[in-house]
């Protein structure tokens, strides 16, 4: 499917979700968000505001149930599409807390993922060449790629492993869920530069973060503030800078949002 | 009785007569016998299928390292140079009158194998034995006696296949592992769907002797493997690694007994199963560290991954420590469904449910499959498991 330049890559309309196993726990309360190819959207918000829920819901996690609204991707309603099909259609989630898969190497996982995405097995030679090139661009060693997925990885290594997968899978929509958290400044720079180097000009990015500092490397076109399951403000980079400078409270007061409403 | 048996030495004839008597007097074990709690053999008729005239028809040596003694048991018992060794060891760990199935093996084996790694010889090539019932529906009673002389080193691979029609295998192995000898046995089992196998392996380990058992169970209707290891020499080391991948109504039963009777001995048991369909796995293990076994290490682990809602596993690892002086002893058991987080992680990379499951199971089993010395066998096992999971019932 080709995407019209003016049409959205991702279009979220009035999205409300709850926890599948606890339907009384409502998290997102009517999110609207539109991401066009090539755009970088930063999503910021205090802890527990629903940022990761939004990321996981777009990726199709069964942990959350959509109660209302819909998610459409490349003009197709994917609200109830299985996670694997979304991934094959080009959506990639870099997890905040990537899961360890003992006994399975990153190389093996990536190869299987490419096979699933393209529907055919890449030749070993071609794969290795592509892997080496991507590792090089990310300043990572081949030994790293031969380790078991996230098994015994440090926080920084886990995030780098996610970015390596991003680089190899070349998604059209990348959701980076707190890819910067837990990284020291050097690791942050490596990861952020990695995203920048690997980025296709048409790739849409939803970058979820607590801090403004990663945005100095991956400059956002739009910044959204998520509070209590609602996007309460949207703006440009200046909005992120303001939050970094003064925190969320002044903004919430300005918007007349009580502390209670700010909680999910 | 066959003609060969009538010419056996007197001690052997006596042993087999007692086994026959046991068969006549004893019944099959029932679920009240703890080792048979979850594996019902009460209706088993060991004479319902044809017996082979000699086990040679089903068991063959695929490859044998140069200079290794591998001979028929009866034949060896007639060799003046070997008779004493055979008499001292055959039936030593497996008495003729212990229980019905062992007695059945002791009474009915026709040829058997005697394997005798020479003192101080390290055999670089493995001894490869194939049990092949792919052409006939039959009952066989494989009997193997191994006496590993001091400082010898040998790998044995026993691979098994059979037809889809019924087959029954009642096997017994007695192992004497002498001072500083190293013995490794791999059971690579890919039975047809209607084969029942009951194997008992008993071993005695002398000072610094080591025994490695690796078992891969993929086929079969009921497969029960029991390993009783007596760590009688100081510094003796026993390792048991087992894998079963089940589907449909397959039933796998592992039982291990590790008897630490000497100082600084170590044992490690790790059994992992992945169960689809309505398949079932049973593990019962006892690791006993006696008062004499000071400074010993023992580990026992059983992990069961349930791939389908009707799959089932029972796990009962028992650790009995009778000395205050152990260096490290532990045991653990888990029975549970596939890790949901792992599944979502893999599916978020585009793998469908079955592909994600194959990857997770492959990773889960890899500590054991990767441990197989024979790299080619490890590759075959990975491919077979993969194929099996490709078609296994997950509902």
What does the pLDDT look like over B52-97, one tens digit per residue?
Answer: 887 778 999 999 999 999 999 999 999 999 999 999 999 999 999 9
- Convert the pLDDT of each residue in A167-199 to its tens digit: 999 999 999 999 988 788 888 888 888 888 888
Q: Across the A/B interface, how many CB contacts are shorter than 8 Å?
A: 76
- Convert the pLDDT of each residue in B297-343 to its tens digit: 999 999 999 999 999 999 999 999 998 888 888 999 999 999 999 99
Instruction: Please report whether residue A127 resides in a domain.
Output: no
B contact set with A (CB within 8 A): 339-342, 344-353, 355-356, 359-360, 362-367
Instruction: Please report whether residue B327 resides in a domain.
Output: yes
Element (H, E) at B60: strand B59-63
Instruction: Please report whether residue A99 resides in a domain.
Output: no
Domain count, chain B: 1
SS3 state at A220:
coil
| Residue A178, token pair as written in the block | 């707190």
Mean pLDDT value of segment B140-167: 96
Q: Which residues of B touch A61 (CB under 8 A)?
A: 344, 348
Q: What is the overall mean pLDDT for chain B? A: 94
Instruction: Please report whether residue A189 resides in a domain.
Output: yes
Q: How many Å apart are CA B330 and CA B270, to the nearest integer?
A: 12
Instruction: Please report whether residue B355 resides in a domain.
Output: no
Q: Is residue A163 a contact partner of residue A176, using CB atoms and an 8 Å limit?
A: no
- A83 closest CB neighbour out of B339, B348, B359: B348
Q: How many Å apart are CA A177 and CA B91, to the nearest integer?
A: 65
Subunit contact B363:A116, Cβ cutoff 8 A: no
**Residue A245 belongs to domain with CATH number:** 3.40.50.300
Instruction: Please report whether residue B340 resides in a domain.
Output: no
Q: Which residues of A touch B339 (CB under 8 A)?
A: 99
| Residue B377, token pair as written in the block | 């066998």
State how beta strands B69-72 and B113-116 pair.
antiparallel
- Convert the pLDDT of each residue in A214-234 to its tens digit: 898 999 999 999 999 999 999
Q: How many Å apart are CA B294 and CA B231, to the nearest integer?
A: 12
**Mutating which of B243, B343, B349 best tests the A interface, going by the most A Cβ atoms within 10 A?**
B349
Which of A120-124, A167-171, B23-27 comes out lowest in average pLDDT? Answer: A120-124
| Residue B57, token pair as written in the block | 């028809």
Domain assignment of residue B63, given as a range: 3-335
Instruction: Please report whether residue B380 resides in a domain.
Output: no
Instruction: Please report whether residue A222 resides in a domain.
Output: yes
Domain count, chain A: 1
Instruction: Please report whether residue B363 resides in a domain.
Output: no
Shortest CA gap A158–chain B (Å):
13
Element (H, E) at B154: strand B153-162
Instruction: Please report whether residue A121 resides in a domain.
Output: no
Quick check: A263 contacting B, CB < 8 Å?
A: no
Domain assignment of residue A246, given as a range: 10-92+171-262
Q: Is residue A69 a contact partner of residue A16, using CB atoms and an 8 Å limit?
A: yes
* Helix ranges, chain B (H): 3-6, 10-25, 73-77, 83-89, 100-108, 340-347, 353-369, 375-391
Q: How many Å apart are CA B96 and CA B173, to the nearest integer?
A: 13
Q: How many Å apart are CA A261 and CA A26, to the nearest integer?
A: 13
Instruction: Please report whether residue A198 resides in a domain.
Output: yes
Shortest CA gap B370–chain A (Å):
9
Quick check: A84 contacting B, CB < 8 Å?
A: yes
Instruction: Please report whether residue B14 resides in a domain.
Output: yes
Q: Which residues of B touch A148 (CB under 8 A)?
A: 363
Instruction: Please report whether residue A161 resides in a domain.
Output: no
- Tell me whether residue A13 is exposed, middle or buried, using C-beta atoms within 10 angstroms of its C-beta: 0 to 12, 13 to 18, 19 or more: middle
**Mutating which of B243, B348, B379 best tests the A interface, going by the most A Cβ atoms within 10 A?**
B348
Instruction: Please report whether residue B85 resides in a domain.
Output: yes
């Amino acid at each position: 499917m080709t995407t019209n330049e003016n049409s959205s890559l991702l279009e979220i309309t009035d999205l409300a979700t709850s926890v599948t196993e606890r339907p009384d726990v409502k998290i997102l309360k009517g999110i609207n968000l539109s991401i066009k190819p090539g755009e970088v959207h930063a999503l910021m918000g205090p802890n527990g505001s629903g940022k990761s829920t939004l990321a996981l819901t777009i990726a199709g996690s069964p942990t959350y149930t959509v109660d209302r609204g819909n998610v459409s991707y490349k003009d197709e309603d994917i609200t109830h599409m299985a996670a694997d099909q979304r991934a094959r259609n080009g959506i990639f989630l870099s997890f905040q807390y990537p899961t360890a898969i003992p006994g399975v190497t990153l190389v093996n996982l990536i190869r299987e993922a490419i096979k699933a995405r393209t529907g055919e097995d890449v030749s070993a030679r071609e794969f290795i060449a592509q892997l080496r090139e991507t590792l090089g661009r990310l300043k990572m060693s081949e030994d790293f790629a031969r380790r078991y997925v996230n098994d015994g990885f440090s926080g920084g290594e886990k995030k780098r492993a996610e970015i390596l997968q991003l680089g190899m899978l070349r998604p059209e929509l990348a959701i980076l869920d707190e890819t910067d958290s837990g990284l020291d400044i050097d690791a942050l720079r490596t990861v952020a530069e990695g995203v920048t180097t690997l980025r296709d000009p048409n790739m849409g990015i939803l970058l979820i973060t607590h801090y403004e500092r990663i945005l100095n490397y991956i400059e956002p076109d739009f910044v959204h503030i998520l509070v209590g399951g609602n996007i309460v403000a949207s703006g440009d980079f200046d909005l992120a800078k303001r939050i970094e400078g003064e925190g969320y409270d002044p903004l919430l007061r300005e918007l007349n949002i009580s502390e209670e409403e700010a909680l999910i | 009785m066959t003609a060969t048996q009538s010419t056996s030495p007197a001690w052997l004839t006596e042993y087999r007569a007692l086994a026959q008597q046991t068969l006549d007097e004893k019944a099959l074990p029932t679920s009240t016998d703890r080792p048979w709690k979850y594996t019902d053999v009460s209706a088993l008729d060991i004479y319902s299928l044809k017996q082979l005239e000699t086990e040679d028809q089903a068991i063959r040596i695929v490859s044998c390292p140069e200079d290794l003694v591998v001979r028929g048991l009866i034949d060896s018992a007639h060799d003046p140079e070997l008779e004493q060794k055979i008499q001292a060891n055959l039936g030593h760990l497996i008495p003729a009158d212990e229980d019905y199935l062992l007695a059945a093996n002791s009474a009915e084996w026709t040829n058997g194998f005697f394997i005798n790694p020479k003192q101080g010889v390290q055999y670089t090539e493995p001894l490869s034995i194939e049990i092949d019932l792919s052409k006939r529906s039959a009952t066989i009673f494989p009997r193997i006696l191994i006496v590993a002389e001091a400082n010898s080193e040998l790998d044995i691979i026993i691979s098994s296949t059979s037809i889809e029609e019924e087959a029954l295998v009642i096997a017994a192995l007695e192992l004497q592992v002498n001072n500083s000898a190293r013995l490794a046995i791999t059971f690579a089992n890919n039975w047809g769907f209607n084969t029942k196998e009951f194997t008992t392996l008993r071993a005695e380990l002398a000072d610094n002797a080591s025994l490695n058992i690796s078992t891969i169970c993929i086929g079969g209707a009921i497969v029960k493997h029991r390993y009783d290891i007596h760590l009688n020499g100081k510094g003796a080391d026993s390792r048991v690694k087992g894998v079963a991948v089940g589907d449909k109504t397959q039933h796998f039963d592992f039982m291990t007994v590790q008897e630490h009777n000497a100082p600084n001995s170590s044992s490690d048991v790790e059994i992992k199963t992945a169960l689809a369909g309505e398949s079932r796995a049973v593990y019962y293990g006892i690791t006993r560290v006696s008062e004499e076994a000071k400074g010993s290490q023992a580990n026992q682990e059983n992990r069961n991954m349930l791939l389908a809602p009707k799959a089932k596993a029972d796990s009962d690892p028992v650790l009995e420590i009778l000395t205050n002086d152990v260096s490290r002893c532990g045991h653990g058991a888990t029975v549970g469904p596939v890790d949901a987080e792992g599944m979502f992680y893999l599916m978020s990379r585009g793998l469908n449910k079955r592909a994600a499951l194959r990857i997770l199971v492959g990773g889960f089993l890899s500590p054991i499959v990767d441990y197989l010395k024979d790299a080619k066998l490890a590759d075959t096992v990975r491919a077979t498991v993969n194929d099996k999971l490709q078609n296994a019932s997950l509902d």
